[in-house]
């Protein structure tokens, strides 16, 4: 009888130990914003570029057609339909864009803006601007 009781206690101890270890590991993990499905508040800083003229009317990764006049953007990970505030850190100007494409795929760039979105916060002749992005919806 004692042997059975000891086995049950040992089994319970092992299960509780594993549970405690897993709880500890989850509590110590460093998930960035967005890993839980809620991207609101996610921020990132880096370089922004804009779509060239050759992309006009081509399909984006979301299936929508790219239009220079719309305030849209491409990001590598943000969900399609996300609203993102993009701020030019050099002049403080901001624009709200909707994510509808994937990219940019050039090292150091964090977002590709439509031509109209880019021109509302910077000069397209510069090609690149330093920005901070923040998911607002």
Cα 99 from chain centre:
10
pLDDT at 9 over 80: no
Residue-level pLDDT at 22: 45
- For residue 114, what are the contacts with CB-CB under 8 A and spacing of at least 6? 50, 51, 66, 67, 68, 69, 70, 71, 72, 73, 97
The whole-number average pLDDT for the span 97-103 is 96
HEC per residue, 62-111 = CCCECCCCCCEEECCCCCCCCEEEEEECCCCCEEEEEEEECCCCCCCEEE
E strand or H helix at 113, and its extent? strand 109-113
The whole-number average pLDDT for the span 107-122 is 95
pLDDT at 17 over 80: no
pLDDT at 47 over 50: yes
Q: Kindly report the average pLDDT of the chain as a whole number.
A: 85
pLDDT at 136 over 60: yes
HEC per residue, 18-50 = HHHHHHHHHHHCCCCCCCCCCCCCCEEEEEEEE
pLDDT confidence bin for 35, thresholds 50/70/90? low
Residue-level pLDDT at 91: 96
d(CA 48, CA 73): 10
Note if the pTM is more than 0.85: no
Dihedral sign for Cα atoms in the order 60, 117, 76, 51: positive
Query: For a pLDDT cut of 70, what percent of the chain falls above it?
Result: 82
pLDDT confidence bin for 38, thresholds 50/70/90? confident
pLDDT at 26 over 50: no
pLDDT at 114 over 70: yes
């Amino acid at each position: 009888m004692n042997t059975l009781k000891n086995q049950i206690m040992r089994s319970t101890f092992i299960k509780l130990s594993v549970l405690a270890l897993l709880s500890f590991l989850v509590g110590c993990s460093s998930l960035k914003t967005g890993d839980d499905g809620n991207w609101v508040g996610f921020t990132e800083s880096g370089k922004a570029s804009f779509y060239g003229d050759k992309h006009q009317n081509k399909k984006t990764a979301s299936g929508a057609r790219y239009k220079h006049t719309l305030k849209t953007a491409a990001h590598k990970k943000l969900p399609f339909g996300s609203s993102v505030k993009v701020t030019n850190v050099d002049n403080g100007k901001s624009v709200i864009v909707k994510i509808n494409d994937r990219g940019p795929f050039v090292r150091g760039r964090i977002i590709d803006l439509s031509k109209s979105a880019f021109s509302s916060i910077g000069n397209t002749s510069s090609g690149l601007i330093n920005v901070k992005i923040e998911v607002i919806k």
